[in-house]
């Protein structure tokens, strides 16, 4: 089959009807859904293909602050987000004796960055975004087998024997992205793939996550407090860190992370499954049952208690990798979120910037015009993604047992207030918005970083402006 046969290589826009590019999105995670929501609001045709047969309520809690507040407001979902989220004003860092060693204080975020930070369970966040996308645009049970990426379109083939054609392919299908693997394989064959991108993913952590059933104040006293009790523990003489979060729904979201060395990484080589699933969690759960947690009461609870209160279908294990890829796109294919080596909040930022660039494409864009838009997307996001990646490495170092890890923990505990404030400004001043939606007045005293894609106009806006100028000239 010819790739997108309805579109030819001849681009005479004076005789072609106004056609926006059709976008195929693989992966219905947070990044893919955010992009779908934005393209829907921009009236750009799109389809989302998810390999899973159904959505599973897996995952722990997620933290969102001023960096995403503006886009949620633009899309009209901020109030609902607040209804599901629970305010976080500090992280309490505890030791294994259940004592608070120090606090990471977030007071002042509303004034400085225009919004406070909130904890929301991953299933609630997923449901909120999924409801912003027309149901008929999300197709489940669509596992990508292969893709073709040419000058006049893209074609993807699925394991069920069906195919889909479009103008742009977005890989939002996670760290083990089939789209990325297909793209990289073709680039490797053409000798255009950077050597570092051809190397296997370095697996550095294993995560066990879950969410309990609704608990009573008697079972977990912190549940009754109005603000989220975000408690983080770093293991003593063991490469683990674990955190608990109280939610608006009266549950406890929890996560336990094992930081791998060369030996433990080999032990986990058999677990290379990108699917979150409860069937892989049982063994790790048994290993971490005795880790202490703080409940706010006199009873000394452990992760084992939370595990017992967690429905098995709400608990899962996943391997995490540590890498930022150099290659973000090729021809008409582009990567966002974990497919490009970043996490959830960054995936939302990716989706905003990419949506702005796609919205700014001319009618019937050529492959070169699409590549130029992808390059601008990468230019805006690359340094920010690297900074987020470097920040995440600090947490890995904190959980170690060597001298560097001990120094990192000491510095975190004794960091001067002005230094911590500067770090917060640096990490929270990128607050992107969609260029095609009414802009939100950012009331933060620290103004947002420059967002180049915010100035991008849709072709209809450009044509309208040109027509107006012509009329005025007459």
* 401 vs 84 pLDDT, higher one: 84
- Report pLDDT for 226: 95
Lowest mean pLDDT of 58-67, 356-365, 385-394, 438-447, name the range. 385-394
The overall average pLDDT reported for the chain is 85
Mean pLDDT, residues 293-304: 93
In this prediction, residue 268 carries a pLDDT of 53
Q: Cβ distance 401 to 361 under 8 Å?
A: no
Reduced to 3 states (helix: H, G, I; strand: E, B; else coil), residue 309 is helix
Q: What is the sign, positive or negative, of the torsion defined by CA atoms of 457, 459, 461, 466?
A: positive
Q: What is the pLDDT of residue 161?
A: 96
- CA dist 143 and 163 (Å) reads 11
Architecture of domain 57-120+202-322: 2-Layer Sandwich (3.30)
Of the two residues 318 and 254, the one the predictor is more confident about is: 254
Where does residue 35 rank: exposed (0-12), middle (13-18), buried (19+ CB within 10 A)?
Answer: buried
pLDDT tens for residues 193-202?
Answer: 999 998 887 7
Which pLDDT band holds residue 278 (cuts at 50, 70, 90)? low
Share of the chain above pLDDT 90, in %: 60
72-75 long-range Cβ contacts below 8 angstroms, 24+ apart = 73/440, 74/433, 74/434, 74/437, 74/438, 74/439, 74/440, 75/37, 75/38, 75/41, 75/132, 75/434, 75/437
Q: 39-43, 111-115, 233-237: which has the minimum mean pLDDT?
A: 233-237
Return the higher-pLDDT residue of 164 and 54. 164
CB-based contact 340:175 (threshold 8 Å): no
Lowest mean pLDDT among 131-135, 271-275, 321-325, 444-448: 271-275
Give, in degrees to the nearest 5, the angle at Cα 420 between 417 and 425. 125
Local confidence band at 13 (pLDDT 50, 70, 90 cut-offs) = low
The answer to whether residue 26 scores a pLDDT higher than 60 is yes
User: Where along the chain do its domains lie?
Assistant: 23-53+141-199+324-462, 57-120+202-322
Would you tell me how many other CB atoms lie within 10 Å of the CB of residue 162? Answer: 12
Confidence (pTM): 0.89
**Taking 60 as the threshold, does the pLDDT of residue 58 lie above it?**
yes
Mean pLDDT (whole number) for 294-318: 92
Q: What is the mean pLDDT of residues 276-289?
A: 80
Kindly tell me if the per-residue pLDDT of 270 is higher than 50. Answer: no
What crossing angle do the helices spanning 66-74 and 417-428 adopt, rounded to 10°? 30
Tell me: pLDDT of 142 over 80. Answer: yes
Give the residue carrying structure tokens 């449901």. 127
- Write down the residue that tokens 């709400």 correspond to: 314
Average pLDDT over residues 310-325: 81
Looking at the DSSP assignment, which residues form a beta bridge with residue 210? 254, 315
Q: Is-contact 86 228, C-beta < 8 A?
A: yes
Radius of gyration of the chain (CA): 23
Spatial distance between the Cα atoms of 308 and 310, rounded to a whole number of angstroms: 5
pLDDT band at 349 (very low <50, low <70, confident <90, very high): very high
Q: What is the DSSP string of 173-209?
A: S-TT-HHHHHHHHHHHHTT-S-GGGGSPP-EEEEEEE
pLDDT at 262: 56
For residue 446, count CB atoms less than 10 angstroms from its CB and return exposed for 0-12, middle for 13-18, buried for 19 or more. middle
Q: How far is CA 421 from CA 34, 112, 424, 432, 442, in A?
A: 30, 10, 5, 21, 19
pLDDT mean over 100-109: 88
pLDDT above 80 for 273: no
Class of residue 40 by CB neighbours under 10 A (exposed 0-12, middle 13-18, buried 19+): middle
- Do the domains spanning 23-53+141-199+324-462 and 57-120+202-322 agree at the CATH topology level? no
Cα distance between residue 394 and residue 390, in whole Å: 7
Could you give the C-alpha distances from 429 to 54, 270, 384, 415, 421, in angstroms and in order?
A: 36, 40, 11, 21, 12
Instruction: Give the burial class of 105: count Cβ atoms within 10 A of its Cβ; 0-12 exposed, 13-18 middle, 19 or more buried.
Output: middle
Binned at pLDDT 50, 70 and 90, residue 157 comes out as very high
Q: What is the mean pLDDT of residues 426-446?
A: 94
pLDDT of residue 359: 97
How much is the average pLDDT of 223-251? 92
Assign domain 23-53+141-199+324-462 to its CATH superfamily: FAD/NAD(P)-binding domain (3.50.50.60)
- At residue 398, the pLDDT reads 60
pLDDT at 274: 46
What's the pLDDT at 19? 87
Q: Which pair of tokens denotes residue 352?
A: 């905003």
| pLDDT confidence tier of residue 271, bands split at 50, 70 and 90 | very low
Going by pLDDT thresholds of 50, 70 and 90, the confidence category of residue 37 is very high
Closest residue by Cα to residue 324 from 197, 172, 415: 197
C-alpha torsion 427→429→432→437, nearest 10: 150
**What percent of the chain lies above the pLDDT cut of 70?**
83
Kindly state the average pLDDT of the residues 318-336. Answer: 86
């Amino acid at each position: 089959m010819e790739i997108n046969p309805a579109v030819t290589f001849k681009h005479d826009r004076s005789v072609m009807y106004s056609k926006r590019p059709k976008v195929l999105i693989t992966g219905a995670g947070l990044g893919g859904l955010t992009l779908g929501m934005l393209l829907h609001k921009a009236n750009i045709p799109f389809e989302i293909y998810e390999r899973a047969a159904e959505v599973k309520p897996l995952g722990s809690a997620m933290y969102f602050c001023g960096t995403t507040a503006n886009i949620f407001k633009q899309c009209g979902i901020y109030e609902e987000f607040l209804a599901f989220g629970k305010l976080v004003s500090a992280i309490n860092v505890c030791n294994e004796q259940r004592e608070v060693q120090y606090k990471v204080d977030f007071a002042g975020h509303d004034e400085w960055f225009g919004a406070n930070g909130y904890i929301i369970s991953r299933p609630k966040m997923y449901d909120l975004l999924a409801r912003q996308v027309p149901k008929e645009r999300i197709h489940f049970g669509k596992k990508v087998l292969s893709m073709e990426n040419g000058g006049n379109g893209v074609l993807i083939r699925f394991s069920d024997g069906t195919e889909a054609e479009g103008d742009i392919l977005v890989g939002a299908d996670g760290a083990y992205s089939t789209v990325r693997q297909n793209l990289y394989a073709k680039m490797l064959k053409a000798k255009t793939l950077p050597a570092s991108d051809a190397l296997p993913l370095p697996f550095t952590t294993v995560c066990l996550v879950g969410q309990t059933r609704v608990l009573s104040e008697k079972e977990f006293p912190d549940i009754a407090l109005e603000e989220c009790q975000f408690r983080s523990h770093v293991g003593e003489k063991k490469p683990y860190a674990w955190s608990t979060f109280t939610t608006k729904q009266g549950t406890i979201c929890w996560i336990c992370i094992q930081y791998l060395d060369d030996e433990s990484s080999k032990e986990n080589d058999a677990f290379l499954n990108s699917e979150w699933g409860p069937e892989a969690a049982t063994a790790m759960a048994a290993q971490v049952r005795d880790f202490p947690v703080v409940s706010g009461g006199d009873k000394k609870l452990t992760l084992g208690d939370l595990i017992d209160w967690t429905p098995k279908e709400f608990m899962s294990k996943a391997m995490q990798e540590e890498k930022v890829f150099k290659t973000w796109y090729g021809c008409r294919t582009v990567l966002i979120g974990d497919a490009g080596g970043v996490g959830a909040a960054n995936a939302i930022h990716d989706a905003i910037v990419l949506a702005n660039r796609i919205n700014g494409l001319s009618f019937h864009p050529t492959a070169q015009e699409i590549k130029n838009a992808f390059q601008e997307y990468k230019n805006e996001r690359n340094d920010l993604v690297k900074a987020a990646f470097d920040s995440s490495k600090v947490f890995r170092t904190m959980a170690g047992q060597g001298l560097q890890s001990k120094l990192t923990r000491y510095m975190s505990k004794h960091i001067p207030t002005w230094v911590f404030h500067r770090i917060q400004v640096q990490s929270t001043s990128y607050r992107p918005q969609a260029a095609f939606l009414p802009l939100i007045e950012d009331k933060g005293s620290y103004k947002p970083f420059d967002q180049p894609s915010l100035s991008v106009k849709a072709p209809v806006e450009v044509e309208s402006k040109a027509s107006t100028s012509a009329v005025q000239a007459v």
